[in-house]
Amino acid sequence: ITLGIRGNIPSQVKTDFSRSGTAHLLAISGLHLSIITGILLSLGIWLFGKRHYLYLWLALAIIWLYALITGMHPPVVRGAIMASLFLAAELSGRQRSAFTALAFAAAVMIGISPQILWDASFQLSFLAMAGLIIIYPSLRVLGGRIAGLVPGEEGAGVTVTRIVVDGMSVSVAAVLATWPVVAHYFGIVSFTGPLATLLALPALPAVIMTGALAGILGIVALPLAQVAGWITWLFLSYLLLVVNGFAALPFSHIVAGKVSTGFIIAYYLVIAAVLWVTARKRDEETSASEAVVRVRSAGPGLFSRLAGQRVMILLMAMAVLTTVVAGNMPDGKLHVSFLDVGQGDAILIQT
C-alpha cells in the first residue's frame, strides 16, 4: 500500500479487494498523495512554521520523490501535478481550483505522451477525480437533505452524520464516474464498493504512515522497525476484515463481461445531461435581484469574455485535431499480424 508493490499479495486477497470494490486502495493514486501531502504540510508547519514557505517546498520535493520511487504511474503523476499546482497557488497567493488543476495535469501528461489517453489507469484516475469535482457536491447536498442535516447545526451526532454523508458521497461519486470503464477493462461490477470504502478508508493513512515508519526505522534499528510493523499489522488486519467481509456477502458483485464502448458513451452523456439539468435548476433558484447584480457587474467585461469564448472555441478545435492525430501515431512497438485468408496466409510485420 505504501509503495504500490502488489506482486506478493495472495491471489485470493486480490480477488476479495476486486469483489468488494476496494481494489483502488491497493493502487498508488491521488488518494495516497493527498494523504501524504496533508501529513507533510502538517509536519512542515510544525517544524518550520510558515516562515519563507519552507513547509511548501518540503512537501513539493517529497511528493515528486515519492512519485519517482513508486514508478511514475499515471495516477501518481496526475496527483503529483495537481498537488504541485495547489502548492504553487498557496505559494503565490492565488485562488485554487481543482478542475483547473485536473485539466492542467491532463494537458501536461497527454502533451508528453499522447498514447496515454488509451491507458486504463490514466482513464480511471481522471474519471474518479472528475467525479469528485463534478458529482460529489450534488451528492453531498442530496445526502444532507436525506439525513435531515441543517446548515450551521452543531453537535456530536451531527458531526458524525456529516462525516458519514461526506464519506458516502465521495465513494458514490467515484463509483458513478468509473464503474462502466472498470467493467469494460475488468468485467466486474461491485455493489458494495461505496460502503466498504467508507469503512476501510480510515485505516489507510495509518497504514501508510506506520508502514513508511517501519521501512525507515528498519535501516537504523530493526527492533524499532518491528514495533512499528506490529502497529501496521493492527490497521492492516482491520482493513482485511472489512474487505473480506464485504467480498463474502452474497450478490456483492456481478461478472458483467466487457461493456461496449457505445454503452460507455451513452452512460456519460446521460450523466452529463443530469448534471446540466441539476445546474439549470440551481440557477433558476437564484433570486432576480442577485441576477441583476451579476448582470451589472458583468457589463464592463462582457466584450472581453465574448472574445475569450472565441479563443476557447479555437483551442477546443485544436485539442480535437491533436487528439485525432495522436490516435493515429505509431506506438513504438513491434506488431506481427498473421492473416489467414483460407487459400493462403500472410504475415504483416510493422516496425
150 has pLDDT over 80: no
The predicted-structure confidence for 281-327, as pLDDT tens digits, reads as follows 766 665 545 654 555 555 455 445 555 566 677 777 777 777 777 66
Quick one: how many helices (H) and strands (E) in the chain? Answer: 14, 4
Question: Which comes out higher in pLDDT, residue 94 or 15?
Answer: 15
Residues 275-279: what's their mean pLDDT? Answer: 80
Tell me: pLDDT of 279 over 60: yes
Q: Mean pLDDT, to the nearest integer, of 61-87?
A: 80
CA angle 325, 331, 332 (to 5 degrees): 130
Assessment of whether the complete model's pTM goes beyond 0.75: no
Residue 241: pLDDT over 70? yes
pLDDT number for residue 349: 92
Quote the CA–CA distance of 90 and 40 in Å, as a whole number. 15
Handedness of CA 327, 328, 331, 333 (dihedral sign): positive
Task: Indicate the Cα dihedral angle 327, 328, 333, 339, nearest 10°.
Answer: 120
Half-sphere exposure of 74 (CA within 13 A, CB side): 23
Least confident span in 21-30, 62-71, 257-266: 21-30
Grid cell for residue 57: 517546498
Contact assessment for residue 13 and residue 240, using Cβ atoms and an 8 Å cutoff: yes
pLDDT at 182: 81
Tell me what pLDDT residue 283 has: 67
Helices 222-247 and 193-200 meet at what angle, rounded to 10? 160
Amino acid, res. 264: I
Residues of the chain with pLDDT > 70: what percent? Answer: 84
Q: Which of 54, 61, 53 is nearest to 37 (CA)?
A: 61
Answer yes or no: is pLDDT of 14 > 80: yes
Give me the mean pLDDT over the 228-253 stretch. Answer: 88
Distance CA 39, CA 30 (A): 14
Distances (CA, A) of 115 to 21, 70, 120: 28, 21, 11
Q: What single string gives the DSSP state of each residue in 275-313?
A: HHHHHHHHHHTS-HHHHHHHHHHHSTTHHHHHHHHHHHH
**Nearest-angstrom CA–CA distance, 328 and 295:** 45
What is the rounded average pLDDT for all residues in the chain?
Answer: 78
Contacts of residue 214, Cβ cutoff 8 Å, sequence gap at least 6: 225, 226, 228, 229, 232
Q: Please name which of 59, 69, 6 lies closest in space to residue 35, comparing C-alpha atoms.
A: 59
CA separation for the pair 129, 220 (Å, rounded):
38
| Spatial distance between the Cα atoms of 236 and 229, rounded to a whole number of angstroms | 10
